[in-house]
Amino acid sequence: MKKNRSYALLNSIIINPVNNNQYTLLKYLGKGSFAQVYQIQEIQSKKIFACKVMQLSMIKQLNRYEQLENEIQLYNHLKHENICELIENFTDQDNHYFILEFCNYQSMQELKYPKQSQIQQLTQQIIQALTYLKQNQIVHRDLKPHNIFLDKQTIFMNVKLGDFSIAMYCNESNDKVCCKLCGTPNFMSPEQIITHIKLSQQYNSKIDQNIDKELLTMVNKMQINPQISYQSDMWALGCIIYQLFTGIPPFQADNITSTFKRILLGQFPALENQHANDFVSKCLVVDPNQRQTVEEAQTHAYVLDNILSGVNDWGETHQTISHSQDNANTVFQYIYFTFCRSVFPYSVYCLLQSYFLFIYFQSEK
């Protein structure tokens, strides 16, 4: 195992003190603001997992106990094929551990130059995850490529949303939570910035150092009075799709302050793909009340127009689909996303779609 300073507080064997489950530390995967992530292997079953480690001393220093309890509660509540599953969590004398399912393709951030049809397939799955979160009244608040993991167990690439450290229940008004500026600047929604500023002014709290006088003036002139809701995740989805097409987020600038200003203006270079640009534009509407909802996103032409180039779009074998076969494929997708998506998971949909197209190909011969 390659040495890394992040291993300093960890033993080579991690033990759950409650049930005595034991894990071998394999390698360091990365870190966030308050945690490190490792690849581990359960000694008894030999199964591979991801392990998120939070130092208790850091939790105490930053007073993150409430945030930790919130993340545990959320993970225990979530069970969906497009959300990373929490296997177990426990604490020893030094750290708190989240044992999570391991995604063998790491995060979407590492996905280089995906094809249009691949981006559409990933978008469909993110929408499924966001629909599930909305049904459970949860807002992620930090949706970005680094927090979307990819897992390819069969011929299909599966999306898994992770890192619910700053997620919140949308049915509870919590000014204390919303007052602090949380998230990743390039993927923050306008209401995350505006709510932070207005609540900070209301409660005489400290405003983030990246907020200058010009930005304050912009916010005070805006007529909308938004609250953080499910629409914040839809904004982030638009930013993610834009980055998958172009390689950079739509509002990226030289510094965070300039990024915030671009976000509040809601102006970005258009995408060449007409359907994708229309979808992204409807996600990146500054006023969340006018922004596309997750329900509307399900039936957008960009989402339904997922042209399948062969049985496996993530493999090496591809077939050319004629215009009539393309239409047949679109009809199949419309039926699934309108009537069947709550019954069949996306992986079953892909198999059924492949079978449907195979039968259609035979009938065309």
Nearest to 53 by CA among 99, 4, 101, 19: 99
Domain with CATH 1.10.510.10 in the chain: 108-304
Domain with CATH 3.30.200.20 in the chain: 5-101
User: Is the pLDDT confidence value at 122 over 90?
Assistant: yes
Pick one of 3.40.50.1000, 3.10.20.30, 1.10.510.10, 1.10.3720.10 as the CATH number of 108-304: 1.10.510.10
| Mean local confidence (pLDDT), 222-228 | 73
User: Is the pLDDT confidence value at 174 over 70?
Assistant: no
Strands 158-161 and 13-15, how do they pair? unpaired
160 annotated as belonging to a binding site for a ligand: no
Range with lowest mean pLDDT among 26-40, 57-71, 128-142, 335-349: 335-349
**pLDDT tens per residue across span 300-353:** 989 887 644 333 555 543 333 334 444 455 555 556 555 565 556 655 656 666
What is the secondary structure of 225-293 as a DSSP string? Answer: -----HHHHHHHHHHHHHHHHHSS-TT--SSHHHHHHHHHHT--PPPSSHHHHHHHHHH--SSTTTSPP
**More confidently predicted of 316 and 70:** 70
Fold of 5-101: Phosphorylase Kinase; domain 1 (3.30.200)
What is the secondary structure of 289-343 as a DSSP string? Answer: TTSPPHHHHHT-HHHH-----SS-TTSS---PPPHHHHHHHHHHHHHIIIIITTT
